[in-house]
Structure 1
Amino acid sequence: MFDKIKDSIQKFSGRSVADEEAVEELVKDIQRDLIQADVDIELVSDLSDDIREKALDEEVPSDLTRKEHVLEIIYKELEDLLGEKPEVEVRPHNILLCGLYGAGKTTTAGKLADYYRKRGLKTGVIAADTDRPAAHEQLKQIAEDVEAEFYGEKETEDPSTIVENGLEQMEADVIIVDSAGRDSLDEDLKKELRNIKKMLQPEEKYLVMPGDIGQSAKEQAQNFNESVDISGVIMTKLDSSAKGGGALVACRQTGAPVKFIGTGEEMGDLEVYDPVKYVSEIIGQPDLESLLEKVEQMDTDPEELLEGEFTLEDFQQQIEQVTETGMMEDLMKQLPIGGGQMPDNLSDMTEGKAKTYQVIMN
């Protein structure tokens, strides 16, 4: 998403001196990188002026070098640009997902169900997309995969009726409604969403948008907010889009907070949006919190390790977990030495050795 900014900062960090010429070159590089990420040009201009003024005019703190001072300024400016980390409560509530065609609403419904299930809540999904023929079966399969309760009526044409019946029959703590999309937010879709909203009475109304729409996210968020009064945005496909940064910034401009982001195709690839984490990655700082979260997802009993009861079978189970779920690559990215300083194929090499151990143990 902001990989090119990271490269520009690494280039600056490698310079012998952080003089005016180096700062000016860095500012121009960041300008170019943000514009390529589809960030609003006026915002880019303001950000550049702020960085330049503070980096060249402010007195350098006694405990920092000039280079460290410049990096700290960039860190704070980018953090401000991307907004604040939202509060996401783990509690029983109803969620309405809305958005246009191709945004990834159905997959996101499954990811949300998986997110809350892992945090101890019983989850359920309602298939209220009566416009797309395959939506019912897709959500049903996803619900089975994430162990969520499912409700849908293939022959019913009125989405609000499906929601009403689903609410009566489901016993879930968190109920997620997958609504239909359109090519644009037309009057039919507005009416449909309002009827569902009236029946569901959702505490959260999320607009699902792909990161590849860039600045267009601003207009889309404004339109849906006027129609449905959205409480937040879930940004999908950020792992494959160079315009994701522009989309995130555009949402911040509308006042619609980004609550979750999709970072991959697996059901577990959904996380609470954390601007500080992204800025840390750009600057090249380790994200220790995410590293610990990844480790906690592994089915390991610390007491067994301390008591010396960790067997060969336990070791084999841990190897299977980190290799089969793609966790190895994620862990490598979060290590304090920084993914950018490691060979691109290091995780593949490590997984290869792990599989060799598995063959030996078997």
Structure 2
Amino acid sequence: MRDLSVSLRSDEGLVQAVRNIGWDIYDGEVLAIVGESGSGKSVSVNTLLGLMRQDVAIVNSGHAEFGGRDLLNLGERELREVRGKDISVIFQDPMASFNPVKTIGDQISEAIRVHDERATRRWAWSRSITLLSMVGVPNPELRCKQYPHQYSGGMRQRAMIAMAMANRPRLLIADEPTTALDMTIQAQIIDVLRLVQKETGGAIVLITHDLGLVAELADRVLVMYAGKIVESAGVVELFASPRHPYTRALLESLPRIGDQSDELRSISGQMPSLVELPEGCAFHPRCSLSHDRQLCRELEPPLQETNSGSERLSACHFSRELDELDIFDR
């Protein structure tokens, strides 16, 4: 992806949902995109697949190359050939994603047969049972005949993952895959996602605000704030030494075993309106590093290498000052 900018129409005006972002992903890699709600995570990937409403979303610029084609220039028919086959999505709310009047088995079978004309109904049904078994759904022969409302939340998420991996996609987009699930089920879903990657050999884009999930699964992390990428780093580097004050604040807000403080840390203030963004760095009104410095107030920092030749990128004028701070020092 290169230079993607997306605006959304609203009653207040045009929302600058995504602003000039770009990234690469490679086979077998897990790329996590993290940030608060409204930071542009889901909008950026949904735009790639033509899943944004055309009367609401405006693609201002950008291109997204996948398999030698620019996804942003494909027609609806061509996108349908890509969706579910080469690129699959695990949506945040599986109950809203399944058809309530069709059985789970019918829906997985349909996903297979749409992209494989040679697949018979019997073979697709057998494959559906196999997929449900692979993702840990008990008694898959019976479960295939059941409807979405007969599944628990965790089982619906497993069924959604089974359908996503049905055609062995090269890229799997997991949009908040553990939201609203308890910790035990979350751990099981993490294991299932690892299985998916082993089964398909493809790449995964993990969209989440759950940093624990990022630590378990991701290879690289993009941190988004107010529609822009503010930091890019390997997962180990990011957790060990963040190079953007927003990333540091996110990590500081995590509870830690053995912490004796009475309250969790939070990030002061709120994310700015994406209709009227402040001048300079969008994070500076909430930043503990800015100290209301003129440079932060007047000039938006570019996303650039933190050190010469480094693959770590940060959009902060004073990122090197973070070397002097210890995020675990309370």
**TM bucket normalised to smaller:** 0.3 to 0.5
* Structure 1 or 2: more strand by fraction: 2
TM-score if structure 1 supplies the norm length? 0.32
TM-score if structure 2 supplies the norm length? 0.34
Query: Which of structures 1 and 2 has the bigger CA Rg?
Result: 1
